[in-house]
Chains A and B, each alone.
Chain A
C-alpha cells in the first residue's frame, strides 16, 4: 500500500517543464498525511509573539502554551515578557463549567504582577467549543486595568495558519490609532513582517537610519505596544513575509490611506531593490535619498562580495531544496543561491498561493519541483531523487535532511543567526558552506554507497 505521493496530493506538485504550469493550493491539509502545517493559533502566536512588553496569555489546556515557550530567536532591546509562557491551563472542571472566571482571574493576576502595556488573550480549540466569551472578559479587564486587552480569535481548528495571521492582524489593527502620533515625521515607515530573529530587525532599522527614514513601529520584531499604537501615522508600510502581515498593511491603507510596499530583506538583489523602492517612494520629499541609498548598497556590496567569492568557489554546482512557511521568502532564497553558484531543484511552502507558485516556477530551472503543503515522505522522496546537497527549512524538516545525509540550513523562527540584510547574506553563505562542505557526508550511507558504486 506504500506510495510516496498520494493521488489526492498529485495536483499540489508541479514539475517544471514536464507539463504546463498548474498547481492546486490553499486547500485543507489531507487528513492522515502528516502535513508540515500548524494551526490558526500557531499563525496568530507567531505574528504577535515578539511584542515584548505585552502579556501573551494562552487560554486553553497547557500544550499550546508549553510548545510555544521561548522557542524563537526574536530578540528584544528592552522588556522580555514575550519569553514567558502564560496559560490558563484549563482543567476538566473548567471545560465543564466554563473558563471565563479563570481567564479573568489569570489576567488580573498577570497584569498586576507584570504591569504590561497590553495583554493578548489567545483562544485555543477548546475555547471555541465550550463557548467562553473571551471578548467580553477582555473588555472588562481593559476597563478595569486601563491597558488594551485584546482577544485573539485563534481557535486552532477554525481554518489554517493564515487565518491565524488574520486574527493577529485584527488585534494589531485594533491597537493602531490609539496614541497620539502628531510628531511622526513625513519620511517614515513601519517595518512589517519581520520578527527580529537574531536581531534582524535591528539590521533593517540601521539601514533605514542611513537612508534617513524614520521607523515608527517594527511589527512585530522588537515590538512595543506604544509603537503599534502610533503605526497608523507612518507614511509607508514595508511588508515582508507574504502571509503574515500583508493584511494589516491593507487595513492601514484602507482606514488611514497609507500605502504599502512588499519587500524582502533576504538575499542581495531583493535587499537592494527593497531599499531602492523605499528611496524612490520618498524621493520627492528628499532628493538626496537616492544617493544615500546607492552609497549604502555600494558600501555593503563592496564589503560582502569578496567575502562570498571563496565560498562560492566551493559551492558551485551544488543543489539546494527550499521548503518554507510562506512562498515570498523562497523567491529571495532562490536568488541568493544563484550568488553561491547553486541551483534550486525543489521549492515549496506551507501556505503559498497559485500566483506565488507560478512565479516560483518561472524563476527555477527545468526539472525543478514546486510543491504545496508537502509532508515528510514527499520531501524525502524528492531529496533523494533530485540529489539535494542542502535543504533550507525549519526544525521539522531538519531530521528528514539529516537522516538522509543532506546538509541543512534553518531559515525559520528558531534560528539564532541573522540571515537578513547584506550581513545576513554573508551569514547565509557561511552557514550553507559550513553544512555542504562538511566531511561528514563522505560517511553517510547515501554518499558512501555512491562512491562504492563508482569505484566498482
Chain B
C-alpha cells in the first residue's frame, strides 16, 4: 500500500548519502567525503554522532554558488587534496548529493582527471558512489556504497582462501562484533563489509585519531573475490532476483557463491544463517551456539504468556522490519502494521515470508510512508507495543504504550550502538527487552502495584 498524501510529515527514512558515509566509515583508513554543499556533511555528522556518540568526520567539497553554475569539479579536487593532507587516508569514499547529481557533475570522469593531474603525489584510493537524495533512502545509499567498494577495489580474482565474505547491511556495532564471534566459532575469520564496530564504537583515547582505528582492510576487500562464499543480509531470500549488490557482483564477476538471507533475527533466521556458514566453511555448528539457541527457546517458553497476543506496530528500514517480523511472529507477538519510508522493494512478500507459518494473518504493510500515515492507520489497530527507532517516541507517548528501541537512530536512550539484534543471543536480548517493556507497563498501570510479576 503506497502513501496517500502529497506532503510528508515526520519521515520514516533518511537521505541516501547518509547511508554511504556510514558504509565508508567501516573501511580501515577511509575518509567519508560528500560532494555537495557544506550543510549535508554537517547535518549527517550531527545525526550520526547523536546515535553512536563517537566522532564522525565527513569531509565536504563545500560547493558555493559559482560551483553550482560552473560545475563542482575544481572544489571536488581541492577538497580531496585537503582531505588527503589532513587525514592521510588510505581511501576516500566519495558520495554525491542531490546538488551535484542535478548540476550533472561526472564524478567518475573528474576523479580520473584528478588522478592524472596529481599522479606524482601518493594519492589515496578513491571509491565513488552516486547517491542522489531524491532517489531511494539511506539504505540504498548504504548498499550502493558497499557495492562500489567491492566493484572498485576487487579488481582481480584473488588467490582462494577460507575467509567468508559477510555483507551485513546496516546493523549495530555490537551486531558486527557478534557476527565476527559467530564466524570464529566456525573457525573462520570473516571479511565484514563494512565493519564500523570499532570506528564507531571505539575506546577512550589519548590522541585524537583523524581516522579511527578499525574497519575492513583494503587487503581484505581485495581478497573478497577469492572467498569460498558470500553471505549477504537483506530483506529475505525472495528478494534475490534482479538485485545488484556487492554479493551479486562478486558472484557474477568472480564466481563467489552467494547466500542471500534475511537479517538473522530470531530463531529460524539465525538457524538459516548458521546453516549457510556451515555450508561455506564445512564446519558444524559449535556446541556453544547450540547452547545459546537452547537458552533462547527456553526463554521463549518462560516468557510466552507475557507477550502472547500483544499487538505491535513495527517501523523502520525494510530489512530491519522484515527481521523483526520474523522474530516477533515466533514469540507470539502479533504484528498488526509494518511501515517503512522505502518503496519498490515488494516488502509485502518479504513480510509474508518472514512470518511464515507463525502468523494467522499477515500484518498490514505500508511502503513509502511517513509517520503521519503510520500513526493514522495504527490508531484504529489499538496497538500494545511499538518496535522501532527513536523517531516513534512521540506516538508511544501519545498512545501510552511502550516503545522497544531497535535500529537507528536511537538518540533518546543511551547505548544504541551497543544494542544486539542478531543471532540467537541478539534475539534473546531483544526478547528480554520486549517482555520487560510489557511487564513495566503492566506494573506502572496497575492500581495494586505488584512487586512480584
Cβ B47 vs Cβ A67 within 8 A: yes
**Stretch of B130-138, B292-300, B319-327 that contacts chain A:** B130-138
A439-456 contacts to B (CB < 8 Å): 443-446, 449
A65 within 8 A of B: yes
Cβ B134 vs Cβ A91 within 8 A: yes
Cβ B59 vs Cβ A34 within 8 A: yes
Chain A residue numbers with a CB within 8 Å of B18 are: 63
B1-48 contacts to A (CB < 8 Å): 5-11, 13-15, 17-18, 33, 36-47
Identify 4 new A-B residue pairs, CB closer than 8 A, beyond the known A157-B63, A158-B68, A403-B208: A28-B62, A85-B10, A125-B37, A396-B42
Kindly provide the distance from the CB of A372 to the nearest chain B CB, expressed in whole angstroms.
Answer: 15
Cβ B82 vs Cβ A403 within 8 A: no
Take A35-B62, A39-B42 as given contacts and tell me if A157 and B99 are in contact as well, using a CB distance cutoff of 8 Å: yes
A140 within 8 A of B: no
Contact of B7 among A8, A109, A375 (CB under 8 A): A109
Cβ B11 vs Cβ A156 within 8 A: no
Q: Which residue of B lies closest to A128 (CB)?
A: B68
A56-113 contacts to B (CB < 8 Å): 57, 60-71, 83-92, 94-95, 102, 105-107, 109-110
Cβ A32 vs Cβ B102 within 8 A: no
Chain B residue numbers with a CB within 8 Å of A383 are: 208
Take A85-B9, A87-B8, A157-B64 as given contacts and tell me if A2 and B37 are in contact as well, using a CB distance cutoff of 8 Å: no
Cβ A2 vs Cβ B86 within 8 A: yes
Take A39-B42, A384-B208 as given contacts and tell me if A34 and B58 are in contact as well, using a CB distance cutoff of 8 Å: yes
Cβ A92 vs Cβ B135 within 8 A: yes
Cβ A38 vs Cβ B33 within 8 A: no
Cβ A404 vs Cβ B208 within 8 A: yes
Q: Which of B6, B14, B38, B57 has the most CB of A within 10 A?
A: B38
A284 within 8 A of B: no
**Stretch of B72-80, B107-115, B151-159, B216-224 that contacts chain A:** B72-80
Q: Which residue of B lies closest to A63 (CB)?
A: B15
Cβ B206 vs Cβ A446 within 8 A: yes
B204 within 8 A of A: yes
Cβ B53 vs Cβ A399 within 8 A: yes
A377 within 8 A of B: yes
Cβ A37 vs Cβ B205 within 8 A: no
Cβ B88 vs Cβ A31 within 8 A: no
Q: Which residue of A lies closest to B15 (CB)?
A: A63
Cβ B15 vs Cβ A66 within 8 A: yes
Q: Which residue of B lies closest to A379 (CB)?
A: B208
Kindly provide the distance from the CB of B244 to the nearest chain A CB, expressed in whole angstroms.
Answer: 17
Kindly provide the distance from the CB of B21 to the nearest chain A CB, expressed in whole angstroms.
Answer: 12
Taken together as a complex, chains A and B put the C-alpha atoms of A125 and B39 apart, in Å, by: 10
Chain B residue numbers with a CB within 8 Å of A399 are: 49, 53-56
- 25 intermolecular pairs with C-beta atoms under 8 Å apart: A8-B82, A31-B61, A33-B82, A33-B86, A38-B39, A40-B39, A57-B7, A63-B14, A67-B43, A69-B10, A84-B10, A87-B8, A90-B98, A94-B134, A109-B6, A157-B67, A157-B99, A375-B86, A395-B50, A399-B54, A400-B55, A404-B206, A404-B208, A445-B206, A449-B206
B417-437 contacts to A (CB < 8 Å): none
Cβ A92 vs Cβ B132 within 8 A: yes
Cβ A376 vs Cβ B55 within 8 A: yes
A130 within 8 A of B: yes
Taken together as a complex, chains A and B put the C-alpha atoms of A446 and B204 apart, in Å, by: 9
Chain A residue numbers with a CB within 8 Å of B68 are: 125, 128-129, 157-158
How does the 8 Å CB contact mask read for A103-144 relative to B, with 1 for contact and 0 for none? 001110110000000000000111011100000000000000
Kindly provide the distance from the CB of B24 to the nearest chain A CB, expressed in whole angstroms.
Answer: 14
Cβ A105 vs Cβ B6 within 8 A: yes
Kindly provide the distance from the CB of A259 to the nearest chain B CB, expressed in whole angstroms.
Answer: 34
Taken together as a complex, chains A and B put the C-alpha atoms of A71 and B15 apart, in Å, by: 17
B81 within 8 A of A: yes
Chain A residue numbers with a CB within 8 Å of B75 are: 31
Cβ B37 vs Cβ A39 within 8 A: yes
Kindly provide the distance from the CB of B9 to the nearest chain A CB, expressed in whole angstroms.
Answer: 6
Taken together as a complex, chains A and B put the C-alpha atoms of A90 and B137 apart, in Å, by: 12
B122 within 8 A of A: yes
Chain B residue numbers with a CB within 8 Å of A4 are: 86
* Chain A residues within CB distance 8 Å of chain B: 1-4, 6, 8, 28-42, 57, 60-71, 83-92, 94-95, 102, 105-107, 109-110, 124-126, 128-130, 156-160, 375-377, 380-381, 383-384, 395-396, 398-400, 402-405, 443-446, 449
Cβ B49 vs Cβ A395 within 8 A: yes
Kindly provide the distance from the CB of A39 to the nearest chain B CB, expressed in whole angstroms.
Answer: 3
How does the 8 Å CB contact mask read for B388-411 relative to A, with 1 for contact and 0 for none? 000100100000000000000000
Take A42-B39, A126-B99, A376-B55 as given contacts and tell me if A159 and B64 are in contact as well, using a CB distance cutoff of 8 Å: yes
Chain B residue numbers with a CB within 8 Å of A158 are: 64-65, 68
Kindly provide the distance from the CB of A46 to the nearest chain B CB, expressed in whole angstroms.
Answer: 11
Q: Which residue of A lies closest to B85 (CB)?
A: A1
* Chain B residues within CB distance 8 Å of chain A: 5-11, 13-15, 17-18, 33, 36-47, 49-50, 53-65, 67-68, 75-76, 78-88, 97-99, 102-103, 122, 132-135, 137, 202, 204-208, 210, 341, 370, 391, 394
Cβ B54 vs Cβ A130 within 8 A: no
Q: Which residue of A lies closest to B10 (CB)?
A: A85
Q: Which of A29, A68, A158 has the most CB of B within 10 A?
A: A29
Chain B residue numbers with a CB within 8 Å of A130 are: 102
Chain A residue numbers with a CB within 8 Å of B82 are: 6, 8, 30-33
The 6 A-B residue pairs with the shortest CB-CB distance in the complex, in nearest-first order:
A39-B39, A63-B15, A32-B82, A32-B79, A31-B79, A380-B208
Chain B residue numbers with a CB within 8 Å of A41 are: 39
Cβ A42 vs Cβ B42 within 8 A: yes
Chain B residue numbers with a CB within 8 Å of A446 are: 206
Q: Which residue of B lies closest to A161 (CB)?
A: B39
Q: Which of A63, A71, A384 has the most CB of B within 10 A?
A: A63
Q: Which of A61, A102, A105, A402 has the most CB of B within 10 A?
A: A61
Kindly provide the distance from the CB of B226 to the nearest chain A CB, expressed in whole angstroms.
Answer: 31
Q: Which residue of B lies closest to A164 (CB)?
A: B39
Q: Which residue of A lies closest to B39 (CB)?
A: A39
Taken together as a complex, chains A and B put the C-alpha atoms of A88 and B55 apart, in Å, by: 31
Q: Which of B5, B11, B46 has the most CB of A within 10 A?
A: B46
Kindly provide the distance from the CB of A222 to the nearest chain B CB, expressed in whole angstroms.
Answer: 19
Cβ B42 vs Cβ A38 within 8 A: yes
Cβ A395 vs Cβ B43 within 8 A: no
Chain A residue numbers with a CB within 8 Å of B81 are: 32
Take A60-B98, A95-B102, A109-B7 as given contacts and tell me if A402 and B53 are in contact as well, using a CB distance cutoff of 8 Å: yes
Kindly provide the distance from the CB of B89 to the nearest chain A CB, expressed in whole angstroms.
Answer: 10
Contact of A37 among B42, B55, B207 (CB under 8 A): B42
Q: Which of B53, B83, B134 has the most CB of A within 10 A?
A: B134
Q: Which residue of A lies closest to B65 (CB)?
A: A158
Chain B residue numbers with a CB within 8 Å of A42 are: 39, 42-43
Taken together as a complex, chains A and B put the C-alpha atoms of A106 and B8 apart, in Å, by: 8
Cβ A63 vs Cβ B84 within 8 A: no
Chain A residue numbers with a CB within 8 Å of B43 are: 38, 42, 63-64, 67-68
Cβ B102 vs Cβ A35 within 8 A: no
Taken together as a complex, chains A and B put the C-alpha atoms of A290 and B359 apart, in Å, by: 74
Take A1-B122, A6-B82, A87-B8 as given contacts and tell me if A31 and B62 are in contact as well, using a CB distance cutoff of 8 Å: yes
Chain B residue numbers with a CB within 8 Å of A29 are: 38, 60, 62
